Amino acid sequence: MARILGDSESGKLGKKIYYNWHGRLCERAMPTNVANPKTEAQQAHRSNFAQISKLSSYMKEAHLVGFHWHAVREKNSTYALFRQTNKDCFTPDGEIDYHRIVVSKGSVPMVSITSAVIDNGCLAVNFDSRTHGGAASDKLFLFVYSPDLCAGVLANPVSRSAGHITVELPAEWLGQPLHIYAFLQGYRLRTSDTVHKKLEI
């Protein structure tokens, strides 16, 4: 639909499109066809992109910290980096492979999770507190995600030397399969790669 503002027009009118370019009124013809074959591969790519875009909003608490250093360095958003990094994290059936999802990446040496249990509505996670080249003051972040509820919880960080972190879970999460994503944040907000663990409740 075209708009008429004084002596100028903008938008579609018949088979022509009117627009303003550097203060001048211009027109162009409507394209005769649009390249959109809707092949299986193209449809699968669109579906994957839509799923990852939604997941980036559900996991924003994690990637706002985990990708922050890279986003500043690359003058990009953490949402865009999350989508770019995880664009191929799918099973052959087109479902999200949560084991491959990355919420943080970097060169800070990561710890390994030794145990994760839920007791009285709290998730308790033990991890190897040895530094292995990192610093004891590095902060460990733990993000818990529920695919069924499309929601996540970011625990308050603890120092690497603590070796233990807990997070209180919402009551409706109990009995749901959960995914744990852990990463470290060190000097000048640099981060580690992501460690994943799935919890079957």
Q: Residue 5 pLDDT > 60, yes or no?
A: no
CB 11 within 8 A of CB 18: yes
Structure tokens of 112? 């390994």
CB count in 10 Å sphere of residue 81: 20
Greater confidence (201 vs 186) lies with: 186
| Displacement of CA 57 from its chain's centroid (Å) | 7
pLDDT at 176 over 70: yes
pLDDT at residue 1 in the model = 46
What six digits make up the tokens of 43? Answer: 């449809």
* Whether pLDDT at 2 is above 60: no
Q: What number is the average pLDDT over the span 23-50?
A: 83
Rounded Cα distance between 77 and 135, Å, is 27
The DSSP bridge partners found for residue 21 are 24
pLDDT band at 178 (very low <50, low <70, confident <90, very high): very high
Q: What is the pLDDT of residue 166?
A: 95
Query: What's the one-letter identity of residue 64?
Result: L
Mean pLDDT of 93-103: 96
Mean pLDDT of the chain: 89
Which of the pair, 76 or 7, is modelled with greater confidence?
76
- Average pLDDT of the segment spanning 134-147: 93
- Tokens for 190, please give them: 């640099």
If pLDDT is split at 50, 70 and 90, which confidence band does 146 have? very high
Domains of the chain: 51-199 (2.60.40.10)
Q: Which of 54-63, 129-138, 165-174 has the lowest mean pLDDT?
A: 129-138
So what's the pLDDT on residue 51?
Answer: 95
3 state SS of 80: helix
